[in-house]
Amino acid sequence: MLVGNDLVDLLDPQADPRSIHQGFDARVMTTEENRLVLSALDPHRLRWMLWAAKESAFKVVKKMDPSAVFHPKAFEVDLTTFDGVHVRHSKTDFETVLFHSPKWVHAVTTLESRSAKCGSRLHSRVLSLESRNGPFDSSMEVRTFTRKALGSWLGISWAEVEIVTENRIPRVTRGGKRLEIDLSLAHDGNFVACAWKA
């Protein structure tokens, strides 16, 4: 099963409602999504939850079709279902889990399927880099964090876990051999995140 994830640092200046371009919501959200944001008790958080759900679903689409281009409005997020959050793109339905804290929102998306509800293993982690002194390389940090998380999960040294990129999609290898793990990486502001499915 394919997995995608996205993360938004709610305290990052770029996420601040005062720094968002006036037409941002109309450009990236459907009419219904805009209505939900305008009526929300916390429109800032809901805006970025919707955005993260769209981005994480796009990462799955990109794995299915490497030529896919991200058009946020084409990903319709439905928060009203009883069995979780759904994202629809074209004729494909995706299942999304939204996690959040006071400082971030994190979306993890898979193709909607029965196996997702019948014991399949989906994992995700978020790490704060707020305590780091000085600048850091988010891309390197998310890879190191993910290697450590996967190493712990696999019961091996994280030094044995390698992350390689093929067509901008991360793959997990060990000793040069690809593992049967689908992986997604994300970073924003002071946070990094990963999700995987085995």
Tell me the per-residue pLDDT of 7-25, one tens digit each, with 9 for 90 and over. 999 999 999 988 888 789 9
Domain count across the chain: 1
Closest by CA position to 12, among listed 197, 194, 187: 187
Tell me the per-residue pLDDT of 60-78, one tens digit each, with 9 for 90 and over. 999 999 999 999 999 999 9
CATH number at residue 96: 3.90.470.20
Tell me the per-residue pLDDT of 147-171, one tens digit each, with 9 for 90 and over. 999 999 999 999 999 999 988 899 9
Domain interval for residue 155:
3-197
Indicate the SS3 state at residue 157: coil
